[in-house]
Amino acid sequence: MDPDLYEAVQEGNLNAMREKMELISTTQLTPNKNTLLHVAAQFNSSEECASEILKINGSLLHEVNSDGETALHVATRNGMENVGIVMMEFAKRIDRELEAGGVDEKLKRLLTLKNIHGDTALHEAIRNNRPSMVNLMTKEDPEIANIANNALETPLFLAVDIVRGDENQIMSVNYILENCPSPAYTGPNRKTALHAAALYNQKQISRKLLKKHPNIITEVDDRGWSALHYAAQRGFGFDVVAAELLKADKSIAYIVAKNDNNKTALHISTCQGKVEIMEEILAYCPDCWVMVTGDGQNILHLSVKFEQKRAFKFIMEKPWVGNLLNQKDEEGNTPLHLYAATYDFNGRDLVNHPQAEKNSVNKEFMTPLDVIEFSDFRSMRKFAVAKELKAKGAERDAWNLATRLNSQRSQIIKDNIETLRKIATIDIRKVADTHIVVAALITTVAFAAGFTIPGGYDGNDGPNKGLAILSRKAAFKAFIITDTLAMVCSASAIFLHFFAAVETDDSKLRKLWGVATMLVMVAMGAMVIAFMTGLYTVLQHSLELAITECAICIFCFPVIYYSVKMTIPS
């Protein structure tokens, strides 16, 4: 492209452009095949500049660059609304002059031309937040709202999908709905504009879409999700949209997602723990709690399986929960079986419920207690859950044990159990090696501290020679007692580990290890207190410093307590 002409168009210099009139009438292109009209659409909102170019070379109206874009695409994207208006008016004038009836409609062709991504100028107007251009284009040709791009996005779907609460984008949606009698509303994967409105909590848009297309409410995407499914997934704050959808047609609460395990919107909200949506759905459809997923799980199953505490509590407070307590899924598992398999969930209300069957068996002849006993993952929490179940009369199933012992897998199971016990024993011995090192260190430190006492010894001649100087201080006495306690407990733990090293009985080994572990813990606590009281003894002249060091030392105890408590369910 001629550099002087390019600069003249870029700056909107009409006089300079007229001097190059003969060049405008020829094909002048930039490296990416932009015409002079494209350049005007990029840099200059002056209608005179665009009008002059079209007056001299009207063939540029439909010319496209290397991205398949007309100058209208470029003008719309860059907010050069005047250039876009000039182009549309020019096209209409030609149509009037030619009395075009269909094939030669210049304006229609201009508005329907797609770029390499399948986007029309209307797509560009929506994507770049140009509501006034959306209004103009849809008024000129309402049919362009039915054109989808390569991503299968219709203008209405795209407008709703990128709203995100933006008022200008909401205007674009409104213009399409007002100017187009029946605009297409589909998007990728059979999603609809209503899906997008529900996903982004657009109540007003949802209402207008339902008024324009009443049947859109029951349409589902490739996953089988309705708009209510998407509102249910988002949860808090989206109960307003959910209510709007249910008010329009409450039957959507019963739509099952055929490609997502036949889940209803209530199932989705339960899996996500969105209690507000659950309340809204049950308010309109109080009987939909009876529906189960494709694998036969009810909402109580799901709340336990996905460890959703709020949803679980909400369900357990309902009068119909008794109908869910003992319902079995396709594997024969009740919610109590699933609770036994959870990693970190407090289902005590389920265990304590008088209607819950504690010894129900699944298809593998396993009771909830069996689920824990045969679990690959064992923890302190699992033992606590087993204790809860046993306290309420839970037992292991006799048929289950007999079946396993008489099946071809019985020997494998016994071998595995024996292997697990050996592994557990080996693990205990490995842990014991660490404990004995810790105990030995505590013993050494406590022993040394006993002879290098705070304040030292009286070196003056007299009856107190060789005695501890601070022996009458209360803090010193506490130091001596706790240091001695640390010494005795750690030494005792070492002795117990020695005995355990030669013990062959697994149960005795565990008992010895347990007692030794407790002694080491006591010794560590006593050592911290000894350190604290020892320093306090010699720092009493600086009370602020003494109190500070005591506070720091004491702080470790609540930290340890809450750290341990977090690993054990309440």
Helix (H) or strand (E) holding 103: none
Please, what's the b/e burial string for 530-568 (b: 16 or more CB within 10 A of its CB; e: otherwise)? bbbbbbbbbbeeeeeebeebbeebeeeeeeeeeeeeeee
Percent of the chain with pLDDT over 90: 45
The amino acid present at 320, given as its one-letter code, is W
Helix (H) or strand (E) holding 425: helix 410-451
- Range scoring the smallest mean pLDDT among 249-263, 360-374, 386-400, 405-419: 405-419
Helix (H) or strand (E) holding 526: helix 506-538
pLDDT of residue 180: 95
Q: How far apart are CA 220 and CA 288, in angstroms?
A: 19
pLDDT of residue 238: 72
pLDDT of residue 59: 87
542 pLDDT band, cuts 50/70/90, is confident
pLDDT of residue 252: 96
What domains does the chain contain, in order, with CATH numbers? Answer: 1-113 (1.25.40.20), 319-407 (1.25.40.20), 412-566 (no CATH)
- Token representation of residue 54: 């079209």
pLDDT of residue 424: 44
553 pLDDT band, cuts 50/70/90, is confident
- Detail the DSSP E strand segments found in 47-195: none
Q: How far apart are CA 103 and CA 124, in angstroms?
A: 25
In this prediction, residues 494-510 reach a mean pLDDT of 72
Please, what's the b/e burial string for 118-141 (b: 16 or more CB within 10 A of its CB; e: otherwise)? ebbbbbbbbbebbbbbbbbbbebb
Closest C-alpha among 223, 207, 342, 228 to residue 278: 228
pLDDT of residue 256: 96
Q: Which residue has the higher pLDDT, 199 or 399?
A: 199
Instruction: Work out the angle at residue 495's Cα, subtended by the Cα atoms of residues 493 and 499, and round it to the nearest 5 degrees.
Output: 115
Residue 519 pLDDT greater than 90, yes or no: no
- Range scoring the smallest mean pLDDT among 102-106, 258-262, 300-304: 102-106
Backbone angles phi, psi at 457, to 5 degrees: -115, 155
